[in-house]
Amino acid sequence: MAQQLINGILLGGVYALVGVGMTMIFGIVQLTNLAHGEFIILAAYLSSVISVGLGLSPLLTLIITVPLMFVIGYILQNVLINKLMERGSEPALLVTFGLSIIIQNALLLIFSADANRLIVSFQALSIPLGGMGRIPVLNLVVCLIGIATLFVLNLFLKKTYIGRSIRATSDDKVAAALMGVNVKQTYGIAMGLALATAAIAGTMVGMIYPFYPSTGSGYLIIAFGVVVIGGMGSITGTLVAGFIFGLAQVLGGSNYGLLIGYLVLIVMLAVRPQGLFAK
C-alpha cells in the first residue's frame, strides 16, 4: 500500500503538469483546446529530435522547446484563434479540433507509427525506503519539476503585471479592456504559457512512457479530468486534482485504474461540477 501511495503521488505530479495548460485556456480564454494533447506529443517529438541531433539530455532540450512552444502558442492565438473567437466559441473549438488532426497526421507522416521514448541516464535508478518500497528517481524528478512549474506559474500570475492582466481578463474582459489591458494580446500570452507548460509536460511524459503520434488524445482526457476536479483556472486546484486523479488510478490497479479515475470524475461532476477550487 505504501508503494502504491508513492506511485500515485508521483503520477499525480505528472497529471497536474499535463492539465495546467488546459486549465489556463479554460479559465482565461474560455476556450476548449482540443489540440492540447497533440501539442504535448509534438513537444515530446521536438525534444527527441533536439536530443538526438545535438546530443543533449532531454531535460536540457527544454531550453529550446519551451520558448519555441510559447512562440507557437502566441502566434496561433493572435493570428488565428482570436479572429475566430469574435464569431463565437464554436468556430475556435472546431479549429482546435482540426489542429489536433493536422498535428497527429503530420507526426505520423514524419516519424511513422513506431514507439519513441526519451532516454535519460538515471532511467533505472531508485531510492530504497526500507520496508515501504522504493522511489523511482525518474518519477521523482518529473514530479518535482511538475510541482515547481506550477509554483512558478502561480507566482507569475500573482506577482507580475502581465500575470495580473491575465487574471483581470479572466474575471471580466470588458472591465480589463477599459483599464487599458490589451485583451487579445493577453489571450496570446496565455496561450503561449499554456503551450510552454505543454512543452515541459511532453518532455516529462516522454521520459516515463513511450509515445506515438496518436497518444495525444489520452493526455487530453487526463487534462479534462484534472480541470474538472480542480476547477477552471485554478493552479492550486490543478495540483490537488492531479494527485487525486493519480492516486485513484494507481489504487485501482492496472485493470481498474482508469475506471476508478473516471468514476471519481463522474462523482465530482455530480457533486461539485465547478471543481474543488473554483470560485
Put residue 182 in one of left, alpha, beta given phi > 0 → left and psi -120 to 50 → alpha: beta
pLDDT number for residue 97: 92
pLDDT number for residue 279: 58
pLDDT number for residue 135: 83
- How do the domains of the chain map onto residue ranges? 2-113+133-271
Distance of CA 97 to CAs 36, 84, 184, Å?
10, 13, 21
- In whole angstroms, give the CA distance from residue 242 to residue 225: 9
List the one residue out of 232, 207, 205 whose CA is nearest residue 219: 205
Q: Which pLDDT tens digit goes with each residue over 148-203?
A: 999 999 899 888 888 888 888 888 888 888 888 888 888 899 999 999 999 999 99
List the one residue out of 225, 250, 221, 251 whose CA is nearest residue 238: 225
Q: Which pLDDT tens digit goes with each residue over 89-110?
A: 788 888 999 999 999 999 999 9
Q: What is the DSSP letter of 126?
A: E
Residue ranges of the chain with per-residue pLDDT less than 50: none
List the one residue out of 143, 122, 135 whose CA is nearest residue 6: 135
pLDDT number for residue 204: 93
